[in-house]
Structure 1
Amino acid sequence: MPSSFSYKVLVCFLLTYSVQYIGVRYNELAAQEGTIFENPYQKTEKQTDVTAFTIYFTKKSIQIPKADQNRLQSVADFLNQNRNYEIYIEAHAVEGKNFKEDILISEKRSLEVERFLLIHFVEEGQIRRLFYGNSKSHNRTKEHEALNRRVEIRLQQKI
């Protein structure tokens, strides 16, 4: 029994020692914020600005991606604290069979973002929704189709 006990203590000591030995100091760690990998054609950009950013959607979807829900939450918090600001939600879509269907998809996306903000207590008077369908989409190639499935968010002070 004594030899078994000393063996377990020795193993525990070695494991503890090795973890401390290979540990990395915290000031050497660096993380990048806001890198998005959902869209292969989208340039990866740091998404740290709350006043203007873009939400990209999957094809024919109106569901806000999880990463963008966190950013919208910080926008909602900002708008709740700053009632003199308003948000512009500009939705785009190039994926329907015709212009009417693109308008409908972009309107639904803008409504989804508005609904999210209203749930988080943003006042209705602070929200401005615009939906363009495919009228402002310059890239109509298949490679750039994903870039046109977007909602652009812009905050500005009320005039």
Structure 2
Amino acid sequence: MTGRERLSQTRLLEALRAAEPTDADAIAALQQASFDDQWSADSVARLLSGPANLSVVAEREGRLLGFLMGQCVVDTAEVLAVAVDAEVRRAGWGAALLTGFERVASVSGAERVILDVAADNGPALALYTARGYETVARRDRYYASGRADPVDALVMAKNLAI
């Protein structure tokens, strides 16, 4: 499979599984390669071990291709971070991770999903909008780490079909 090859949604979803604390090092490495605000493997392991954890990973042949760190509290699931390896971006992995997370969240009792996204992150905004997320709030100058000028965060939400 080449990095940009698009696979069917079914094949993508088949590569998903629940994230486990043993994934912490690989998730932290991908998170650090993807974001300025970096998480340690210890902090990732704590999130993955928590009672609210609903995180998922995309994996092929033992290689972590992407992750979605999330949690669910009562009836609301929250996406904390999503990243896809640069070599396989634009192949549908982000959408597959989001779909997998939504399914797990719904089964766990979530009625809606919320997330924050940088207002200047066009690819993420396109993905979330296409998946039915709507902007419900704005956090001024929320993303500042590693940026010359802070960027607003858009708070987006989607109601899950029950």
In which range does the TM-score fall when normalised by the shorter chain?
0.3 to 0.5
Q: Looking at secondary structure, tell me which structure has more strand per residue.
A: 2
| Structure label with greater radius of gyration | 1
The higher relative CO (CA closer than 8 Å, separation ≥ 6) is in: 1
Report the TM-score, using the length of structure 2 for normalisation: 0.37
Q: Looking at secondary structure, tell me which structure has more helix per residue.
A: 1
Report the TM-score, using the length of structure 1 for normalisation: 0.37
